[in-house]
Amino acid sequence: MSMQALFGQLLVGLINGSFYAMLSLGLAIIFGLLGIVNIAQGAFYMLGGFVTWMLLNYAGIGYFWSLLLVPIIVGLIGAAIEKTLLKKIYNLDHMYGLLLTFGIMMFIQGMFVHFFATAGRPYTVPSALTGGYNLGFMFLPKYRGWVVLASLVLCLVTWYAIEKTSIGRTLRAATENPTLTRAFGVNVPALMTIGFGIGVALAGAAGVLAAPIYPVSPLMGAELIITVFAVVVVGGMGSIMGAIVTSLMLGLLEGLTKVVYPQGSNMVIFVIMLIVLLVRPAGLFGRER
């Protein structure tokens, strides 16, 4: 096997890993604040890809503007869904949150299949990011490097915002003790809307980054979310840095498996999950409760 192939697959693994990171980060924020496991996260990723494609084809808005606009649009759609649907079930068993977002996912995906069919639509790499570098041991396409860089920066900015800023402080407080935080004058219900918006915007941003790599299709996020669930179980709930590190590690491992044992590449993360559950049930970075 050539070094080229190995590093090429590791790069793909790193890219997938950074998508897992963005999706699981959003998942963690939403779960902390709303107590909902948002299974529709993959649908919002798809929405991100599709809105990017639509902006270009219907409005002539290019990639870089999309990178800014799409997360905002997806976040607003998410906020609207939170305000109209999710808000109604907060006092019910957490199970209903999962079921409701499952319904939302099926609905969004189904409607996109309805209007756009299942075939993938290509999105060309922006001209500023075409070409690549020859690193000697491998050829690095500029765009792929950019995706890894951009999503890492986005993840770290999110981590910083949550751990080190005043907004993050309020977010953590509302996650830990929403009732008391309200009694201090913080509008926690609004924060929950914003939190859901930010959580799905991260998935939307991943969708923009993915558009030039993976064809944009209504089902592009359907299986992804299941893998992200496995990643979250491996990492353990609760640590943001843990989620990022686990995502990248598992992405790389998946890439490596593609070289060594291609048939097992789509299964390796689930097998790892099985092993982790047997050996360390709380996950790598989680604490046993």
Partner 1 sequence: MSDQRVLTVDNVTGHYGDSHILHGVSMHVNEGEVVTIIGRNGAGKTTLLRAIMGILTKRGGSIVVRGQETIALPPERIARLGIGYVPEERGIYATLDVTENLMLPPRVAAGGMSLDDIYKLFPNLYERRRSPGTRLSGGEQQMLAIARVLRTGAKFLLLDEPTEGLAPVIVQQIGATIELMKRQGMTLILVEQNFRFASRLADRHYVMEHGQIVDVIDRAQVQARMDSIKSYLGI
Partner 2 sequence: MTHLPDTVTKPTTSNHTLIWYGLGLIALLAAPFLFYPVFLVKLLCFALFACAFNLLLGSCGLLSFGHAAFFGAAGYVAGHAAKEWGLPFELAILCGTASAAVLGFLFGYVSVRRSGLQFAMITLALAQLIYFLAWQLPFTHAEDGLSAIPRGKVLGLFDLDNIMVLYYTTAAIFLFGFIAMHRMTNSTFGQLLRAIRDNEPRAISLGYEVNRYKLMAFVLSATFAGLAGSTKAIALKIAALTDVHWATSGSVILMTLLGGLGTLLGPVVGAGVVQAIEDHLSSLPADFAVFGLFRLPPITAIIGAIFIICILLFRRGIVGEIQHWLDRRSGK
Q: How far is the CB of 238 from partner 2 (least distance, A)?
A: 11
Which helix (DSSP H) or strand (DSSP E) does residue 133 occupy?
strand 132-134
* Cβ(131)–Cβ(179) below 8 Å: no
Count of residues for the chain? 289
* Distance from C-alpha of 148 to C-alpha of 177, rounded to nearest angstrom: 35
In degrees and rounded to multiples of 5, residue 165 shows phi and psi of -110, 170
**Residue 230 engages partner 2 in binding (rule: CB under 8 A):** yes
Assign 91 to helix, strand or coil.
Answer: coil
* Distance from C-alpha of 105 to C-alpha of 251, rounded to nearest angstrom: 24
> Of the ranges 58-66, 182-190, 207-215, 226-234, which one interacts with partner 2 (CB under 8 A)?
226-234
Angle at the Cα of 116 from the Cα atoms of 114 and 118, rounded to 5 degrees = 85
Burial of 62 (0-12, 13-18, 19+ CB in 10 A): middle
**Residue 92 engages partner 2 in binding (rule: CB under 8 A):** yes
Q: Which is nearer to partner 1, 118 or 165 (CB)?
A: 165
Give how far the C-alpha of residue 272 lies from the chain's centroid of Cα atoms, to the nearest Å. 20
Choose the one of partner 1, partner 2, none that binds residue 181, judging by a C-beta under 5 to 8 angstroms depending on kind.
partner 1
Q: Which is nearer to partner 1, 83 or 121 (CB)?
A: 83
Binding to partner 1 (CB under 8 A) within 169-198 occurs at: 169-170, 172-173, 175-177, 179-189
Choose the one of partner 2, partner 1, none that binds residue 110, judging by a C-beta under 5 to 8 angstroms depending on kind.
partner 2
Binding to partner 1 (CB under 8 A) within 132-171 occurs at: 166, 169-170
**Binding positions for partner 2, rule: CB under 8 A:** 31, 37, 85, 88-89, 92-96, 98-100, 102-111, 113-114, 223, 226-227, 229-230, 232-233, 237, 263, 266-267, 270-271, 273-274, 277-278, 281, 289
Binding residues vs partner 1 (CB under 8 A)? 166, 169-170, 172-173, 175-177, 179-189
